[in-house]
């Protein structure tokens, strides 16, 4: 159990900067999710913490100690890989105990620790099997078990669920979170899936192009996204972001006028989450519905505004085909308006 | 395939015709071996008065005993031993140095890596037949004529095995090495605990190919073993033919030929699956 | 292709690669360098000194009718061996592919000759066609054909070709069979639905799909015929009669070891080096093609 501190960490491959100064202070036992699209540098960041990539600049501290130059094995970490990286020629028990064997622990002690971890993960019956004889979910558990037996201070997860089917992913998501709470180990978890980020994180880092766009709790990021990127990456379906004009009398979005939440003037980007829109015959926003996607509990309506901009609304209940090719008027509460700077993408209100 | 794809599969007369063709092919291919076997079980007079019989005689034990323990120049048992040492030496030696050098090339970045890689690559282009004379001089200079090391070393270094292992290491997921690093394994530990066990089937397949390669060498042992007691069996057969007009001792020579085939054939047949996989996968 | 992960350090990898580099240097590069160096000199008859002649050895070789004959012989020999080793192999593989259930048994029988050394194969075939005791030669005689490969150059060539190709049939069979097994059933079935009969399917669908394998085997068999058939020639004909079966590799041996003509033998080695180089490049072209699929 340890704190992890990233102090202005940078990574350059040659002249190309892939991580541009990330700072983060992780509390003991905290679950941090690093989320972003592919190529944003999230895996590189995690691998620098693991010691699999060198840190070009900045300082990494694990448990208060500088760890930049330590070998992975000396960082008191354990890692779960995307493809699990199980040793194919070793049994489940051997896979889980390999790190301890290298440390030179007595066999009895290794067996005891492996057995305990196996019990925790319900792998007891599979200890003699080879990885190729296991299902995806079981392999995932073995990879977890290998991390657990090392009793590390920090767990590192690199997209551990991306090779599982949707149903199993939901289940493993819960199991990982539960296990991490039970063991009280600090965790860094990389994913591209914003649902995983929302459901698992104590705090999340939204990464884009090597930069941390926002660091905060899931609800903070959802309710007050710091940048246009964070706003559109977190939340499903993605937030509508449209150019608007802020004037004294309100926000002008085409013909529609919405209350101006701040004292802003000039061109802004206006963000509206689809699920915050309400059908309202007197509503200011007029949308031409092109397509309805009923999901059961709610319905996604895709269409265009008068300006021609694509627009999505998510309305509770079922709106059948009768909603298509019709005009719909919508309103939105003032506290659900997000304003961003059109040049920098930073939040304005 | 199952009968469900019968539309494409042959049946009835076509199938039997194919079997007949196949059997004919196998018989033709097998005939030289069969004839040698027959010749190794009959008497010399039966052979020199053609046509020789096409069915085995009753002299199997006598002929093979004569070959194994007295031979013509040297007992065949001695030549078998020499061949075994040479083939094993080449196979094992080549596998060991290739495993190590491929590991260095794939898993490390060190000064001269590219240069060494190309040097090894170039040896692919230098079969021993092409450089026999200078190589012979090197061996003679080292005093390695008529020695096992002289038989083995010049044939050990070709790059084929190195390339096979390099290809294989490339397919090993990066994450395995990373996981091993996180688990605390240093390079040689990773090599021993992870890479080597994972290469088992490749090593076995390569062993078959190299064993046969070493066993079947002809020109090189012919050049450097002037002492009959160092002859290998494959080259020794030719030495059993008399010069001039003397009549060759056919039953013993044919028994020796059969003996020369048995070890590589046994290796190929017993490790057939591995060997075919190794051959088809690796030689591409 | 490079690994993402590498271990640190330079001493360990240098130690790991050292044995191979050392052996290559002593037994490959030094002798090859020697061959190139010696090819520029003519030693005096007593081997006491040698005279620099530049390209002289090459000039002499290329105008030497015997060497040119050896080149021609090698070309004919290689072409015939490749043909004789590949066509029957393909035929057998196509048949075996149709007998899926028993193909394994046939395959086990057919791989035997692969394990037989070329030199031993030479002895077996020489025995069958021996002018005094050979069974096949005797039966040919009964049919009124007087077989004598010791005197007849064409018969000698035919015999070394067959003896050389024999073991390679197994090898080629294995590759063709594996390639045929890899042809997707659905493609064949689609052709069958399109109304193509067996031979039509074979020539229009299967054979084109086999072309990478065929090309690979073509190169490999040529390399084999060039460099690995020494044993066959040495045991059956020793290059005769009248050099009718003297291929290039045999001539290097005969001129260097028997004739003790060092300069010429070295120059021949260098020419062979160039031939191997070309063939290797061809082979790698093939590998590249496969990789880029």
Distance CA B80, CA C247 (A): 30
Per-residue pLDDT tens over the stretch C135-159: 999 999 999 888 898 889 999 999 9
Decide: helix, strand or coil at residue A171: helix
Tokens of C115: 């394990």
Q: How far apart are CA A103 and CA A116, in angstroms?
A: 18
Pairing of strands C50-52, A285-294: unpaired
pLDDT at B3 over 60: no
The DSSP result for B75-111, as a single string, is: -HHHHHHHHHHHHHHHHHHHHHHHHHHHHHHHHB--T
- Report pLDDT digits (tens) over B217-265: 999 999 899 898 999 999 999 889 887 667 788 999 999 999 999 999 9
Q: Report whether pLDDT(A204) > 70.
A: yes
State both tokens at B75: 């007992």
Which has the minimum average pLDDT: A186-190, A227-231, C60-64?
C60-64
Sign for the pseudo-dihedral over CA of B35, B36, B39, B41: negative
- At B272 the pLDDT is 82
Which has more confidence, A329 or C54?
A: A329
Please tell me the predicted confidence (pLDDT) of residue B284.
Answer: 40
Query: pLDDT averaged over chain C?
Result: 86
CA distance B103 to C249: 35
The mean per-residue pLDDT over the stretch C146-173 comes to 92
Residue A67 has a pLDDT of: 92
pLDDT at C43: 76
SS3 per-residue string spanning chain C: CCCCCCECCCHHHHHHHHHHHHHHHHHHHHHHHHHHHHCCEEECCCCCCEEECCCHHHHHHHHCHHHHHHHHHHHHHHHHHHHHHHHHHHHHHHHHHHCCCCHHHHHHHHCHHHHCCHHHHHHHHHHHHCCCCCHHHHHHHHCCCCCCCCCCHHHHHHHHHHHHHHHHHHHHHHHHHHHHHHCCHHHHHHHHHCCCCHHHHHHHHHHHHHHHHHHHHHHHHHHHHHHCCHHHHHHHCCCCCCCCCCCHHHHHHHHHHHCCCHHHHHHHHHHHHHHHHHHHHHHHHHHHHHHHC
Residue B244: its pLDDT value, please? 67
How much is the average pLDDT of C47-56?
78
Please report the ipTM that was assigned to this predicted complex.
Answer: 0.87
Min Cα separation B62/chain C (Å): 21
Strands (E), chain A: 4-13, 16-26, 31-35, 57-62, 65-66, 77-80, 154-158, 186-191, 203-208, 211-216, 240-247, 250-253, 256-258, 266-272, 277-279, 285-294, 298-305, 310-316, 327-332, 338-340
Beta-sheet pairing, A31-35 with A186-191: parallel
Give me the half-sphere count of Cα atoms (radius 13 Å) on the Cβ side of residue B67. Answer: 26
Task: Using the Cα atoms of residue A217, residue A219, residue A220 and residue A221 in order, give the sign of their dihedral.
Answer: positive
Q: Which residues pair with A332 in a beta bridge?
A: A277
At residue B36, what are phi and psi to the nearest 5 degrees?
-65, -40
Instruction: Let me know if A189 is exposed, middle or buried by CB neighbors in 10 A (0-12, 13-18, 19+).
Output: buried
Tell if the CB–CB gap between C253 and B219 is shorter than 8 Å.
Answer: yes
Of C268 and A189, the one with more pLDDT: A189
Question: Band of the pLDDT at A61, cuts 50, 70, 90?
Answer: very high
Report the gap between the CA of B192 and the closest CA in chain A (Å).
12
Contacts of C95 in chain B (CB under 8 A): 18, 21-22, 25
> For chain B, first and last CA: distance in Å?
27
**Three-class secondary structure of residue A302 per DSSP:** strand
Taking the C-alpha atoms of residue A118 and residue A91, their distance in angstroms, rounded to an integer, is 13
Chain B contact set for C26 (CB, 8 A): 138, 153
Tokens of residue A304, six digits: 């265009």
Report the percent of chain C where pLDDT is more than 70. Answer: 94
- Helix residue ranges per DSSP H, chain B: 13-39, 44-48, 60-69, 76-107, 113-122, 132-141, 148-152, 160-171, 174-182, 187-190, 196-198, 200-215, 219-224, 233-239, 250-270, 272-282
Give yes or no for B178 touching A (CB within 8 A): yes
- Reduced to 3 states, what is the DSSP secondary structure of residue A94? helix
pLDDT 10s digits, C79-91: 999 999 999 999 9
B171 in contact with A, Cβ within 8 Å = no
Confidence of residue B12 (pLDDT cuts 50, 70, 90): low
Helix (H, G, I), strand (E, B) or coil at B3: helix
The span from the CA of C89 to the CA of B31, in Å, is 16
| pLDDT at A27 (0 to 100) | 94
Domain boundaries, chain C: 66-290
What is the tens place of the pLDDT at every residue in C281-291?
777 776 555 54
Predicted local confidence at residue C12, as pLDDT: 93
> Is residue B141 a contact partner of residue C42, using CB atoms and an 8 Å limit?
no
Cβ contact A194:A233 at 8 Å: yes
Comparing alpha-carbon positions, the chain B residue that sits nearest to C260 is: B133
Provide, for chain A, the percentages of residues in helix, strand and coil under a 3-state DSSP scheme, each rounded to the nearest 5: 30, 35, 35
Q: Burial of C20 by CB count in 10 Å (0-12 exposed, 13-18 middle, 19+ buried)?
A: buried
Residue A197: per-residue pLDDT: 94
Contact C290, C212 (CB under 8 A): yes
The Cβ of residue A276 has, within 10 Å, a number of other Cβ atoms equal to: 20
Instruction: Look up residue B57 and give its two tokens.
Output: 């005689």
pLDDT at A90: 94
Q: How far is B185 from chain A (nearest CA, A)?
A: 7
Token digits for C70? 């050896």
- pLDDT range class, residue C35, cuts 50, 70, 90: confident
* Each residue's pLDDT tens digit, A314-340: 998 877 656 566 888 999 998 899 999
Best B168, B183, B201 residue to mutate vs chain A (most A CBs within 10 Å): B183
DSSP state of A101: H
Give the per-residue pLDDT at C293: 33
Are residues A285 and A330 in contact, defined by beta-carbon separation less than 8 angstroms?
A: yes
Q: Which two tokens stand for residue B217?
A: 């060498």
Mean pLDDT of B15-39: 90
Q: Which residues of B are less than 8 Å from A46 in CB distance?
A: none
Specify the fold of C66-290: MetI-like fold (1.10.3720)
**Given CB atoms, is B182 within the 8 Å cutoff of chain A?**
yes
> Given the DSSP bridges, would you call strands A57-62 and A65-66 parallel, antiparallel or unpaired?
antiparallel
User: What confidence score (pLDDT) does residue A250 get?
Assistant: 85
Percent of chain B topping pLDDT 90: 44
Question: Among B37-46, B207-216, C161-170, C271-280, where is mean pLDDT lowest?
Answer: C271-280
Q: What is the mean pLDDT of chain A?
A: 91
B134–C262: do the CB atoms touch at under 8 Å? no
Instruction: Evaluate if residue C264 carries a pLDDT over 60.
Output: yes
Query: What is the predicted pLDDT for the residue at C104?
Result: 81
- Flag if C99 and B32 touch (Cβ within 8 Å): no
Q: Average pLDDT of C106-134? A: 90
Q: Which two tokens stand for residue A282?
A: 């007197």
**Using 50, 70 and 90 to split pLDDT, how confident is the model at C272?**
confident
Size of interface B-C (CB pairs under 8 A): 310
Structure tokens at C242: 């009248």
C256 has pLDDT over 80: yes
Over residues A272-300, mean pLDDT? 90
Spacing of C-alpha C50 from chain mean position: 35
Higher pLDDT, residue A76 or C189: A76
Alpha carbon distances (Å) from A35 to A22, A176, A210:
14, 17, 12
Where is pLDDT greater, at B32 or C192?
A: B32
pLDDT 10s digits, C217-248? 888 899 899 888 999 999 999 887 888 999 99
A300, A293 Cβ separation under 8 angstroms: yes
Q: Does pLDDT of B281 surpass 50?
A: yes
Among B178, B180, B198, the residue with its CB nearest the CB of A88 is B198
Binding partners of C (≥3 Cβ pairs within 8 A): B
- Binning pLDDT at 50, 70 and 90, where does residue B215 land? very high
A24/A216 Cα distance (integer angstroms): 10
Over the stretch B56-113, which tens digit does the pLDDT of each residue have?
Answer: 988 889 899 988 998 788 899 999 999 999 999 999 999 999 999 999 999 998 888 8
* Element at A200 (helix H, strand E): helix A194-200
Whether the full predicted model's pTM is greater than 0.90, yes or no, is no
User: What pLDDT, on a 0 to 100 scale, did the predictor assign at position C166?
Assistant: 94
Confidence band (pLDDT; 50, 70, 90) for C47?
Answer: low
Angle at C212 between CA C210 and CA C217, to 5 degrees: 95
Residue tagged 């390679």 (tokens)? C168
Residue B214 predicted with pLDDT over 50: yes
Higher pLDDT, C239 or A231: A231
Yes or no, beta carbons of C28 and B157 under 8 Å apart? yes
Write the burial class of residue B126 (CB in 10 Å: 0-12 exposed, 13-18 middle, 19+ buried). Answer: buried
């Amino acid at each position: 159990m340890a704190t992890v501190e990233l102090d202005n960490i940078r990574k350059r491959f040659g002249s190309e900067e892939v991580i541009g100064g990330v700072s983060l202070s992780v509390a003991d036992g905290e679950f941090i999710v690093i989320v972003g699209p592919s190529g944003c540098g999230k895996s590189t960041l995690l691998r620098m913490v693991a010691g699999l990539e060198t840190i070009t600049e900045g300082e990494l501290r694990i448990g208060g100690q500088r760890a930049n130059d330590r070998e992975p094995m000396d960082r008191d970490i354990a890692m779960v890989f995307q493809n699990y990286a199980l040793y194919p020629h070793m049994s489940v028990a051997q896979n889980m105990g390999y790190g301890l064997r290298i440390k030179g622990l007595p066999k009895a002690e290794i067996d005891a620790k492996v057995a305990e971890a196996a019990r925790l993960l319900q792998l007891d019956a599979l200890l003699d099997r080879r990885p190729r004889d296991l299902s995806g979910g079981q392999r995932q558990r073995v990879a977890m078990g290998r991390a657990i037996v090392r009793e590390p201070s920090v767990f590192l997860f690199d997209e551990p669920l991306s090779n599982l089917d949707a149903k199993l992913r939901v289940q493993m998501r819960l199991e990982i979170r539960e296990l991490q709470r039970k063991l009280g180990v600090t965790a860094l978890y990389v994913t591209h899936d914003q649902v995983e980020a929302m459901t698992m994180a104590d705090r999340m880092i939204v990464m884009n192009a090597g930069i941390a766009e926002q660091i905060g709790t899931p609800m903070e990021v959802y309710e007050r996204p710091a940048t246009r990127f964070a706003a559109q990456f977190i939340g499903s379906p993605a937030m509508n972001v449209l150019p608007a004009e802020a004037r004294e009398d309100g926000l002008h979005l085409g013909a529609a006028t919405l209350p101006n939440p701040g004292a802003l003037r000039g061109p802004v980007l206006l963000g509206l989450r689809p699920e915050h829109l309400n059908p309202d015959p007197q509503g200011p926003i007029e949308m031409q519905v092109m397509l309805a996607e009923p999901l059961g509990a709610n319905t996604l309506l895709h269409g265009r505004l008068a300006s021609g901009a694509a627009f999505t609304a998510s309305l509770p209940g079922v709106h059948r085909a009768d909603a298509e090719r019709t005009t719909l008027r919508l309103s939105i509460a003032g506290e659900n308006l997000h304003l961003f700077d059109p040049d920098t993408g930073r939040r304005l209100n | 395939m199952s009968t469900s794809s019968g539309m494409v599969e042959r049946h009835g007369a076509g199938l039997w015709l194919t079997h007949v063709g196949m059997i004919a092919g196998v018989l033709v291919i097998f005939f030289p071996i069969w004839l040698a076997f027959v010749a190794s079980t009959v008497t010399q007079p039966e052979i020199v008065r053609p046509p020789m019989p096409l069915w085995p005689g009753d002299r199997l034990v006598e002929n093979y005993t004569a070959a194994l323990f007295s031979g013509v120049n040297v007992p065949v048992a001695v030549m078998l031993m020499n061949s075994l040492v040479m083939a094993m030496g080449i196979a094992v030696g080549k596998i060991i140095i290739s495993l190590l050098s491929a590991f260095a090339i794939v898993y490390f970045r060190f000064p001269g890596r590219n240069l060494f890689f190309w040097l090894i690559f170039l040896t692919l282009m230098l079969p021993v037949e092409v450089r026999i004379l200078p190589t012979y001089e090197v061996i003679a200079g080292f005093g390695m004529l008529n020695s096992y090391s002289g038989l083995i070393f010049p044939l050990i270094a070709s790059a084929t095995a190195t390339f096979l292992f390099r290809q294989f290491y490339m397919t090993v997921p990066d994450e395995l090495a990373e996981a091993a690093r996180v688990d605390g394994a240093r390079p040689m530990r990773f090599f021993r605990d992870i890479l080597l066990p994972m290469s088992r089937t490749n090593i076995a397949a390569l062993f078959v190919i190299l064993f046969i390669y070493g066993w079947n060498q002809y020109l090189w042992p012919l050049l450097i073993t002037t002492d009959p007691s160092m002859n290998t069996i494959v080259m020794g057969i030719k030495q059993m033919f008399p010069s001039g007009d003397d009549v060759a001792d056919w039953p013993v020579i044919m028994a020796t030929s059969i003996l020369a085939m048995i070890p590589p054939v046994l290796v190929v047949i017993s490790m057939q699956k591995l060997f075919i996989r190794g051959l088809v996968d690796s030689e591409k | 292709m490079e690994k993402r992960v590498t271990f640190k350090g330079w001493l360990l990898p240098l130690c790991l690669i050292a044995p191979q580099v050392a052996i290559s240097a002593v037994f490959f590069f030094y002798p090859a360098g020697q061959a190139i160096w010696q090819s520029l000199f003519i030693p005096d008859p007593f081997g006491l000194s040698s005279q620099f002649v530049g390209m002289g050895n090459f000039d002499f070789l290329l105008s030497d009718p015997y060497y040119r004959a050896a080149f021609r012989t090698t070309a004919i020999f290689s072409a015939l061996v490749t043909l004789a080793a590949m066509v029957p192999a393909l035929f057998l593989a196509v048949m075996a592919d149709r007998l899926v259930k028993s193909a394994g048994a046939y395959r086990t029988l057919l791989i035997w000759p692969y394990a037989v050394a070329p030199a031993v194969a030479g002895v077996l075939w020489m025995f069958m066609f021996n002018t005094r005791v050979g069974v096949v030669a005797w039966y040919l005689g009964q049919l009124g054909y007087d077989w004598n490969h010791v005197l007849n150059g064409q018969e000698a060539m035919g015999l070394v070709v067959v003896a050389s190709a024999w073991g390679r049939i197994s090898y080629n069979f294995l590759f063709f069979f594996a390639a045929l097994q890899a042809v997707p059933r659905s493609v064949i079935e689609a052709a069958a639905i399109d109304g193509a009969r067996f031979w039509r399917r074979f020539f229009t669908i299967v054979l084109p799909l086999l072309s990478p394998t065929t090309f690979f085997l073509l190169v490999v068999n040529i390399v084999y015929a060039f460099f690995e058939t020494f044993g066959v020639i040495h045991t059956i004909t020793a290059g005769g009669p009248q050099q009718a079966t003297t291929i290039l590799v045999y001539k290097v041996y005969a001129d260097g070891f028997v004739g003790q003509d060092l300069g010429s033998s070295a120059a021949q080695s260098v020419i062979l080096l160039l031939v191997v180089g070309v063939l290797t490049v061809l082979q790698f072209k093939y590998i590249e093609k496969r990789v880029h699929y």
